[in-house]
């Protein structure tokens, strides 16, 4: 590991080295042998002290002029000068040196962790290769306007959102979604900024300026996430504000009261000075936001964007998870899942249905045609007609085909017809007014929906509920397959809101309610839940706007990951708080009893900070299991 | 109007909290954050008084931590 210091850190390092050399000299010289040995000794240690801590003294002085009484520099100065006054020259210098070493470590550790977190989010494109008048020019992404064509070479990051106009390739979206399987990019496909072009040269017609592009929006979101603070963070800030005055007050009491009683001034003043050394709450104040920031970083690298540490903290206490069906648990694309012919072959039934529905652009007919898979020969169709909301009719090879709802076909055939298990949309078909069977079209579960539910349960989620605008049959079927606790179907958007409000009442006081939707028509529900999670954030502006947490790659199993990251982060933050307070309290007590001296107090101050920072950085490392 | 500025040499989390508190007290500031982690200052203030507010904010920052610089 190469250690690289910033200018400021180098300055501190120089002070430590000079101070230390003079200090060693002071320790080695036998001052008793000289006339006025005492004064020389004081001068040498003063020299060491000023070489090391001169800048701290100056800073403390400046801060006092600015009205910052309880500044750590000032307190450190009082403590060390106090040590000189009670005759502990060496200790005064030592404490100042320790303090500086701690500062150096602290600053280095914070820098390093800050860099490793932002390294995770290093998706900012450096330049764009724009084609103007047939010439490739490299410009900064901000300079490219919509409608211009950019070329992206293999290995390069796609700088702006756009549509592929020529070439084909695949894109590594892992920086954006955490998904390792590359996406294909062909002519006409949407190319998202931030992804890496893997194998072929592609030309992209820019559809969004840099500021509006996915990559810029995500970066902005992550950078602003630090501004919504978690409760713990606010608590620590408030605590810090009273902690310092409290410890300083205790120090004053310790210096005065026992001294007046016993008359042993130097003993008690010295003990009081150790209090001043540990009066800075820095370990707490640094490590708590750092931990949350690390957690947010870990989530981003897994394709989960969290808009603030308050949401990360709330995720750890999720008790009820409410999910939308279409687009969240299911793919939202309708596919033929069952063909039930009567007296004819499956292929024949599907062919009739696909031909009859050929003129309709309804999603149902699209999926019929997709399932049929062959080209429709239009010359075979005549007399096509559509009865809105009911069904279609057409002559296919001279046979009169009707296809549509149960009531529609019943009317045509004169007999009632119903499908056995209608967990989807059923298309009934008749040929020459005779019922020939039905085709079931249903939404498909996402591959990881079942895993998502079981993971949530193992995370301790008490209740998993599904809300959907879809039909009862389809909803019940999905809920039963996923073993959900409750399901409410055929809901209008405002009914979803009232159900969520109702469910929120049934969660315990500390427990939180998560709503997961696709973010497009769920905006009101997303805002009403404690935490709104939107799916499929990649490319969808609405989702990014409305939700508190965005899952980039559509996978419902990421909800459990988000919760696990949240819990881990919270555990680390709690460890830090307990550790820092515990060590400080212990050193305060031992210091008051005279068992430990100032050196231990310095450790309790800066050493604990460094350890807490190192612990906080662990929040960054989360591995999916 | 909401604007974000980068901060240089902000190296104490407690100072960041102090700065934030001080800036929030400035007249005309709707909201302000000083993020120690991202080294950024965000001020939300009325357009009319924004420049004046910014000047006061810069002063408030140097009062808490003389070494810290706002990159304008």
Nearest residue of A to residue B4, measured between CA atoms: A224
Q: How many domains does chain B have?
A: 1
**A254-273 b/e (C-beta count within 10 Å ≥ 16 → b):** bbeebbeeeeeeeebbbbbb
Residue B24 with chain A: CB contacts under 8 Å: none
Show the domain range for B6.
2-71
Give B24 to chain A, closest Cα distance, Å: 14
Q: Is the Cβ pair B64, A107 closer than 8 Å?
A: no
Q: Is the pLDDT of residue A283 over 80?
A: no
* Domains delineated in chain A: 1-122 (no CATH), 128-223 (2.70.150.10), 291-328+446-567 (3.40.50.1000), 331-444 (3.40.1110.10)
Average pLDDT over residues A561-583: 92
Please tell me the least confidently modeled range out of A309-313, A327-331, A420-424, B56-60: A420-424
What is the rounded CA–CA span in Å between residue A451 and residue A100?
A: 51
Tens-digit pLDDT profile for residues A211-268: 888 888 777 777 677 667 788 888 887 888 788 888 888 888 988 888 888 888 888 8
Give B56 to chain A, closest Cα distance, Å: 14
ipTM: 0.76
Q: Looking at the partner chain, which of B11, B14, B40 has a beta carbon nearest the beta carbon of A240?
A: B14
- For residue A446, the model assigns a pLDDT of 87
Q: Is the pLDDT of residue A569 over 90?
A: yes
Q: Is the Cβ pair A282, B12 closer than 8 Å?
A: yes
Please tell me the least confidently modeled range out of A54-68, A180-194, A539-553: A539-553
Please tell me the least confidently modeled range out of A19-23, A68-72, A134-138, A413-417: A68-72
Give B55 to chain A, closest Cα distance, Å: 17
- For residue A466, the model assigns a pLDDT of 93
More confident site: A107 or B23: B23
- For residue A625, the model assigns a pLDDT of 62
- Cα A256 off chain centre by: 51
Q: Looking at the partner chain, which of B18, B37, B40 has a beta carbon nearest the beta carbon of A290?
A: B37
Residue B39 with chain A: CB contacts under 8 Å: 114
Residues of A marked active site are found at 324
Non-local (6+) Cβ contacts of A2 within 8 A are none
A153: nearest Cα among A119, A187, A127: A127
More confident site: A597 or A501: A501
For testing contact with chain B, the best of A64, A223, A290 (most B CBs within 10 A): A223
Nearest residue of A to residue B34, measured between CA atoms: A227
Q: Domain of B52: which CATH number?
A: 3.30.70.100
Distant-in-sequence contacts of A418-424, Cβ < 8 A, 24+ apart? A419/A340, A420/A340, A421/A473, A421/A477, A422/A473, A423/A473, A423/A474, A423/A476, A423/A477, A423/A478, A424/A334, A424/A337, A424/A473, A424/A474, A424/A477
Give A481 to chain B, closest Cα distance, Å: 45
Tens-digit pLDDT profile for residues B24-65: 888 888 888 888 777 888 888 888 888 888 999 998 888 888
**Average pLDDT of chain A, as a whole number:** 84
What is the rounded CA–CA span in Å between residue A427 and residue A338?
A: 11
More confident site: A135 or A523: A135
**Confidence bin at A456 (pLDDT 50/70/90):** very high
| The pair of three-digit structure tokens given for residue A256, joined into one six-digit string | 């005065």
Q: Looking at the partner chain, which of B9, B36, B38 has a beta carbon nearest the beta carbon of A8?
A: B9
Q: Looking at the partner chain, which of B9, B38, B67 has a beta carbon nearest the beta carbon of A223?
A: B38
What is the rounded CA–CA span in Å between residue A450 and residue A114?
A: 37
Nearest residue of A to residue B41, measured between CA atoms: A227
What is the rounded CA–CA span in Å between residue A607 and residue A419?
A: 72
Nearest residue of A to residue B17, measured between CA atoms: A237
Average pLDDT over residues A52-77: 81
Reduced to 3 states (helix: H, G, I; strand: E, B; else coil), residue A259 is helix
Q: Is the Cβ pair A114, B37 closer than 8 Å?
A: yes
Q: Is the Cβ pair B63, A286 closer than 8 Å?
A: no
**Confidence bin at A453 (pLDDT 50/70/90):** very high
- For residue A542, the model assigns a pLDDT of 66
What is the rounded CA–CA span in Å between residue A174 and residue B9?
A: 33
Residue A448 phi/psi, 5-degree rounding, is -105, 15
What is the rounded CA–CA span in Å between residue A393 and residue A403?
A: 6
Q: Is the pLDDT of residue A415 over 70?
A: yes
Residue A67 with chain B: CB contacts under 8 Å: 63
Q: Is the Cβ pair A68, B14 closer than 8 Å?
A: no
**Confidence bin at A120 (pLDDT 50/70/90):** low
Q: Is the Cβ pair B13, A62 closer than 8 Å?
A: no
Q: Is the pLDDT of residue A1 over 50?
A: no
Residue A203 phi/psi, 5-degree rounding, is -110, 135
Residue A491 phi/psi, 5-degree rounding, is -100, 145
More confident site: A182 or A21: A21
Non-local (6+) Cβ contacts of A269 within 8 A are A82, A85, A86, A255, A259
A348: nearest Cα among A429, A291, A460, A458: A429
Residue A2 phi/psi, 5-degree rounding, is -80, 125
Average pLDDT over residues A273-299: 82
Residue B42 with chain A: CB contacts under 8 Å: 224, 227
- For residue A312, the model assigns a pLDDT of 92
């Amino acid at each position: 590991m190469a250690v690289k210091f910033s200018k400021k850190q180098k300055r501190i390092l120089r002070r430590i080295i000079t101070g230390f050399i003079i200090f060693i000299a002071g320790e080695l010289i036998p001052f008793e042998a000289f006339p006025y040995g005492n004064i020389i000794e004081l001068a040498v240690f003063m020299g060491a002290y000023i070489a090391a801590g001169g800048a701290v003294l100056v800073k403390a002085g400046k801060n006092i002029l600015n009205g910052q009484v309880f500044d750590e520099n000032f307190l450190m100065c009082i403590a060390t000068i106090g040590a000189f006054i009670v005759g502990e020259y060496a200790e005064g210098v030592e404490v100042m040196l320790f303090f500086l070493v701690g500062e150096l470590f602290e600053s280095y550790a914070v820098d390093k962790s800050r860099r490793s977190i932002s390294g995770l989010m290093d998706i900012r494109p450096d330049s764009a290769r724009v084609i103007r008048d047939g010439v490739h020019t490299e410009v900064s992404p901000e300079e490219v306007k919509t409608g211009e064509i950019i070329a992206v070479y293999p290995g390069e990051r796609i700088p702006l959102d756009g549509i592929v106009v020529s070439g084909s390739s695949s894109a590594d979206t892992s920086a954006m979604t955490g998904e390792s399987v590359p996406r294909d990019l062909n002519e006409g496909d949407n190319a998202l900024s931030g992804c890496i072009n893997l194998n072929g040269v592609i030309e992209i017609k820019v559809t969004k300026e840099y500021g509006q592009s996915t990559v810029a929006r995500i970066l902005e979101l992550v950078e602003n996430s630090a501004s919504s603070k978690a409760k713990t963070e606010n608590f620590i800030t408030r605590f810090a504000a009273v902690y310092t005055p409290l410890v300083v007050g205790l120090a004053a009491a310790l210096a005065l009261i026992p001294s007046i009683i016993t008359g042993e001034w130097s003993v008690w003043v010295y003990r009081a000075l150790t209090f001043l050394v540990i009066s800075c709450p820095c370990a707490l104040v640094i490590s708590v936001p750092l931990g949350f920031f690390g957690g947010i970083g870990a989530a981003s690298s897994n394709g989960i964007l969290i808009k603030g540490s308050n949401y990360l903290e709330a995720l750890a206490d999720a008790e009820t998870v409410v999910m939308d069906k279409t687009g969240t648990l299911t793919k939202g694309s309708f596919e033929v899942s069952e063909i039930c012919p009567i007296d004819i072959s499956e292929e024949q039934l599907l062919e009739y249905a696909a031909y009859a529905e050929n003129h309709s652009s309804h999603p149902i007919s699209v999926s019929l045609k997709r399932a049929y898979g062959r080209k429709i020969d239009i010359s075979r169709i005549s007399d096509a007609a559509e009865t809105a909301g009911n069904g279609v009719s057409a002559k296919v090879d001279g046979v009169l085909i009707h296809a549509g709802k149960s009531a529609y076909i019943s009317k045509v055939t004169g007999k009632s017809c119903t499908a056995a298990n209608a967990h989807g949309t059923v298309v009934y078909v008749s040929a020459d007014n005779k019922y020939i069977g039905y085709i079931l079209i249903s939404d498909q579960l996402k591959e990881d929906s079942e895993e998502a539910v079981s993971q949530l349960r193992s995370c301790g989620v008490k209740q998993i509920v599904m809300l959907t605008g879809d039909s009862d049959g389809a909803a019940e079927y999905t809920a039963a397959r996923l073993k959900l606790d409750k399901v409410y179907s055929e809901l209008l958007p405002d009914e979803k809101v009232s159900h969520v409000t109702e469910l929120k009442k049934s969660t315990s006081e500390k427990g939180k309610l998560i709503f997961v939707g696709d973010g497009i028509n769920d905006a009101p529900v997303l805002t009403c839940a404690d935490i709104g999670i939107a799916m499929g954030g990649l490319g969808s502006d609405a989702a990014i706007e409305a939700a508190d947490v965005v899952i980039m790659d559509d996978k419902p199993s990421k909800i459990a990951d988000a919760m696990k990251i949240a819990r881990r982060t919270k555990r680390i933050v709690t460890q830090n708080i307990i550790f820092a307070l515990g060590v400080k309290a212990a050193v305060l007590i031992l210091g008051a009893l005279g068992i430990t001296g100032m050196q231990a107090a310095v450790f309790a101050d800066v050493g604990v900070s460094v350890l807490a920072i190192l612990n906080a950085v662990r929040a960054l490392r989360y591995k999916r299991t | 109007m909401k604007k974000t500025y980068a901060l240089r040499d902000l190296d104490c989390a407690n100072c960041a909290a102090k700065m934030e508190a001080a800036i929030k007290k400035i007249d005309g500031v709707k909201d302000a954050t000083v993020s120690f982690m991202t080294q950024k200052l965000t001020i939300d203030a009325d357009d009319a008084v924004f420049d004046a507010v910014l000047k006061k904010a810069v002063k408030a920052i140097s009062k808490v931590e003389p070494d810290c610089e706002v990159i304008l």
